Structure 1
Amino acid sequence: MSQTPNMRMSRRGLLRATGGIAATAVLAACGNGGGTGGGSGGGAKGTLTLWASTAFAGDAKAALRTAAQEYGGKQGLTINVEGFPANDLAKKITTALAGGGGPDIVVADVSSIPQFAASKMLVDVTARFKAAQGEFFAGNVAAASFKDAVYAVPYDTSNVALLWNKKLFQQAGIQSPPGTWDELLASAKELTGGGRHGYMLGAQGYGSFLFWPWLWQNGGRILDDAGTKALFNAPEGLEAWNFYAGLHLTHGVVPPTFLGVTQAWDQYIQPFLTEKVAMLAIGDWGLAPIAKGNPGLEYGVASLPKGKESATVLGGNAIGITSACKNVDAAWGFVSWLTSAGQEKVLRDGYQRIPARTDVGNGSMAGLDEAHQIFIQQAASARPRPAVTAWGDIEWQVMANAWDSVIQKKKSPRQALNEAATAATQALSRG
């Protein structure tokens, strides 16, 4: 694939893009292992190259590879699927495209899409997607958009719910999972002791990502409507931040080891998996590691305990066509087929994931176990994070650093949150 002059990014632009995008990708890390190889560029008319994380393309028999072979065989196309560790994927995409190479198609975390779009790395698919847009959850469409244009098709959707250990609850005499913040704190206190703790938190960007539902539940907002000013330090935000941090700082219901949860979701899940923690908030991507690591674990899934209102945060992946693709029509054919009704089996059977389609409740997800049902029910109401180019810096750097300064007792919650809001607003002003 050739690099036209208007597609080439400056070195400064590349550094900004890779820094922000790569940080957000860490939160999507649901798989491990090395990449399967470098990109070929997909220059031949009958060849397309797709890059995804190893969560989707980690082995030779991955469902995405099989789907690509099936479609390619029918269309006379060769679709090469290549996998990379999730925390490296966005940086590799950015670097490759800036250098004139890279894939034709990418499967990327939705939080990366606005930054890809702002850097002109994705094709605007608004017109192509218009007829099918209503078949997808609005939140996922919004997350895959930038400045009123759609740059990727939503693929899977995820949101955050509460996992609770049924055996530990029964032993503590607690009959049901908490439904409110006060109930969560009371239960966590009862469940803390004897080497166990009631609730789990994460450090760095894991902690900042999991804070957003608390903010929304208390009536707070992340940014203003224009996306130019941070609002998360308003009174509603500070109250939620204090409660969130207080689980560790004031009440001691969180294991001290949470301070080391900085690299992967597996670190965050481990204390729950080994029954050292009774509750944690996580998305459906946490279910497979639990099933693998402790298949006999007796646990339930419930909606997050609510504050003034109920809320959860949206995640997932979207599929975009890169600006380096020479055969956009062929690439779009595959993308539209893979995300169409009837192909949910790829996500369901291959990855135990939930498609971002509104028809997931019509029985097509019957193959998923009971633990997934809450996530399916919440899919339509989960809230996306702001679609701004500075989001990676805000979530993984500004807020992550603020969170760490609080849990490490270097700054007060108020000071850290106010400083973070100022830094976030400055990041937004830089575009």
Structure 2
Amino acid sequence: MKKRYTQVTAFAVLSVTASLLAVSNASAWTLKEAAEPYSGTTIKAVFLDRPGYKAASALIPQFEKETGIKVRTEVVPYENTREKEVLNFVGGGDQDVVLVDVVWMGEFASNKWLVPIKTFTDNPKLADPKLDLPDFFPILLDSFGTWDKTTYGLPFDNYSGLMFYNKCMLKDAGFNGPPKTWDELLNVYAPKLTKPDKNQFAYALQSRRGETQSADSFMRMLWPNGGSLLDAKFKSNLMSPQSQAGLEYRQKLMKYMPPGIVDYDHAEAVNALAQGQVAMITEWSAFYPTLTDPSKSKIGNCLAITTEPTGPAGLKPALGGFSLAVNAKSNAKKQAASWLFIQWITSKEMAKPYLDAGGVSGRMSVYKDPAVQAKFPFVNPMVQSWQGGVPDFRPRFPEWPAVSEVIGEWGSKIMLGQVSVKDGAKTIGDKTEEILNKAGYYDGKKPLLK
């Protein structure tokens, strides 16, 4: 018994010692020391002209001072970003930090253009012990950073579709709050809020041909009605009653939108609310800084925010945003420096500074602070929207860019009345199936990944 006690005691001592060493090693890790081998390295990244990127740019000097690593960013229009990055991968360009939209992840990862984060998290010299991956909202880490059960990027500039509205305009029309359902918006609110002779309209839906039409307009109206682009076998679901109802709804709502709405991108929709032309928009939470900037917005204290309305299928808001990943074609030194930057800008430590600077963090912990909730009224509806999960069969597969072009063309034609909802939807479905069939989705050559 005494011998056993001694063995157990010895084991306990060793365990405690190991734990203390682990804690000691963890506490010993610093960004400055981790970055020493890469001091003087310059890494390049593509940024967008949006608040979250301006926020990150404002914080970058702090990273550069701490690490000696230089971060050079190029601001590119969203519509050109994917093409620029793909050309970079194929042509051997010098981009090191990759910006990955939720709908590009399948393409980028399946082509092996991104480095799995495990390469860095398994390296104690590069992995911050406080990284805490479980602190990211699961829906964000899964949708924006992960493909085929492998994580490639960390969530950055993430947002949910929210309803921004002018509570003063609604009050003048006799409403004490926003519509709770899409049906209520169309049949109760829209008629009273639309005054074409005064250039005033109830609602604006960003619908410009391209990714805005496909992801922000077309798909946005399918999900709340229980529709979807594809069914469980990756065949078109656009002729289903639910999908048809969503697209017909969009056509009905157009009479309460500004003329030329089919050419509205995000900037035009946000500006329409900011200048008092429309009473409501469903837009990304990331545009909150724009709407609260007195130099860009007249809405002032009339601005209010809530979740998107619910439909027959419940609350199914749009989910948008990006992850930051490391370019697999960069050299090892630049890869390590890029990881240190990505790990830092998306860290728990930087979540509050990033939020204060105008960004939207993907970290759960920062939004639990009552002061943060009080300061940023978009937080509670955004967090609520991130609880429900991604709508079924979200288009994250590698063939999405080709499908998006089809939806961009024919979705715009539907809105303009150049083709009926039924005929336009059938054309989109047929062309989508042609693309997926050619890619091998129906002969067993490709798994039906979502």
Normalised by the shorter chain, which TM-score bucket?
0.7 to 0.9
Match of 2:306 among 302, 306, 319: 302
Name the CA shift for 1:346/1:392 in 2 (closer, same or farther; >3 Å). Answer: farther
Q: Does 1:237 align with 2:250?
A: no
Say whether residues 1:96 and 2:88 are aligned partners: yes
**Paired residue for 1:197, among 198, 201, 214?**
201
Please report how far the alpha carbon of residue 234 of structure 1 lies from its aligned counterpart in structure 2 after TM superposition.
1.7
Give the Å deviation of 1:304: 1.5
Q: Distance in 2 between matches of 1:299 and 1:70?
A: 33
Relative to structure 1, the CA distance from residue 57 to residue 299 in structure 2 (aligned partners, 3 Å threshold; closer, same or farther) is closer
Instruction: Give the secondary-structure state (helix, strand or coil) at the position aligned to 2:155.
Output: strand
Secondary structure of the corresponding residue to residue 292 of structure 2? helix
Cα 1:82–1:57 shift into 2, 3 Å: farther
Q: Deviations over 1:113-137 (max 9, x none)?
A: 3222233221122565698432222
Change (3 A) 1:393 1:294: same
Alignment map for 1:115-264 (pairs within 5 Å): 115-126=107-118, 128=120, 132-143=132-143, 144-185=145-186, 186-193=188-195, 194-195=197-198, 196-203=200-207, 204-205=209-210, 206-208=212-214, 209-225=216-232, 228-248=234-254, 252-261=255-264, 264=265
- Name the counterpart of 2:398: 389
- Which has more radius of gyration? 2
* Counterpart AA for 1:231: N
Deviations 1:40-67 (A, max 9, x none): xxxx8841413122436999xx543454
- Relative to structure 1, is the Cα distance of residues 201 and 69 closer, same or farther in structure 2, using a 3 angstrom cutoff? closer
In the TM superposition, what is the alpha-carbon distance from 1:282 to its structure 2 partner? 0.7
Counterpart of 1:50, as a letter, is: K
5+ residue gaps in structure 2? 1-37, 123-130, 440-450
What amino acid sits opposite 1:420 in the alignment? I
Contact 2:163-2:305 within 8 A present in 1 as well: yes
SS of structure 1 residue aligned to 2:348: coil
Residue 377 of structure 2 corresponds to residue 370 of structure 1: yes
Letter in 1 for 2:273: F
CA displacement at 1:306 relative to structure 2: 1.0
RMSD: 2.7
Going from structure 1 to structure 2, the CA distance change for 1:199 and 1:373 (only over 3 Å counts) comes to same
- 1:259 & 1:100 partners in 2: Cα distance? 37
Larger mean Cα displacement after TM superposition, 119-128 or 264-273: 119-128
TM-score, length-scaled by structure 2: 0.76
Distance 1:270 1:314 in 2: 21
Cα pair distance change 1:274/1:58, threshold 3 Å: closer
**Residues 72-87 of structure 1 aligned to structure 2 (within 5 Å):** 72-87=64-79
Does the 8 Å CA contact 1:181/1:306 hold for their aligned counterparts?
Answer: yes
Alpha-carbon deviations, 1:323-350, whole Å to 9, x = none? 1222233332332222221111342122
> CA 1:368 to 1:104, structure 2 compared with 1: closer, same or farther past 3 Å?
farther
The 8 Å contact of residues 187 and 198 in structure 1, kept in 2 or not, is answered as: yes
TM-score (norm 1): 0.79
Number of corresponding residues: 378
Identity %: 22
Check the 8 A contact 1:58/1:83 in 2, yes or no.
Answer: no
C-alpha change, 1:419 and 1:126, in structure 2 (3 Å) is: farther
Matched, 1:400 2:408: yes
Change (3 A) 1:207 1:57: closer
Query: Which residue number in structure 1 is paired with residue 32 of structure 2?
Result: none
Residue equivalent to 1:418: 426
Contact 2:56 2:345 in 1 (8 A): no
Partner in structure 1 of residue 284 of structure 2: 283
Hey, what does 1:21 align to over in structure 2? none
Contact 1:54/1:86 (<8 A) preserved: yes
Do the aligned partners of residues 233 and 147 (structure 1) sit closer, same or farther apart at CA in structure 2, a change above 3 Å counting? Answer: farther
Query: Which of 355, 358, 361 is the aligned partner of 1:348?
Result: 355
1:37 aligns to what? none
User: Contact 2:291/2:299 (CA < 8 Å) preserved in 1?
Assistant: no
- 1:323 pairs with 2:335: no
> Runs of 5+ in structure 1 lacking a partner?
1-43
SS at match of 2:103: helix
Q: How far apart in 2 are the matches of 1:311 and 1:58?
A: 24
Specify the code of the residue in structure 1 equivalent to 2:236: A
Runs of 4+ in 1 over 6 A off after TM superposition: 56-59
What is the 5 A alignment of 1:103-122?
103-122=95-114
Change (3 A) 1:72 1:87: same
Alpha-carbon shift at residue 415 of structure 1 (Å)? 1.0
Would the aligned equivalents of 2:137 and 2:386 in 1 still touch at CA under 8 Å? yes
The answer on whether the counterparts of 1:312 and 1:382 sit within 8 Å (CA) in structure 2 is: no
Deviation at 1:368, TM superposition (A): 4.3
2:161–2:318 Cα contact (<8 Å) kept: yes
SS at match of 2:403: helix
Counterpart residue identity of residue 165, structure 1: N
Aligned in 2, Cα 1:430/1:355: closer, same or farther, shift over 3 Å? farther
Alignment match, 1:52: 46
1:84-112, Cα deviation, whole Å (9 max, x unpaired): 33333332222223222222212343322
Deviation at 1:318, TM superposition (A): 0.7
Distance of 2:271 and 2:114 partners within structure 1: 37
- 1:349–1:277 CA distance, 2 compared to 1 (3 A): same
Aligned partner letter, 1:241: L
Distance 1:422 1:291 in 2: 43
In structure 2, the CA distance between the partners of 1:126 and 1:399, relative to structure 1 (3 Å rule), is farther
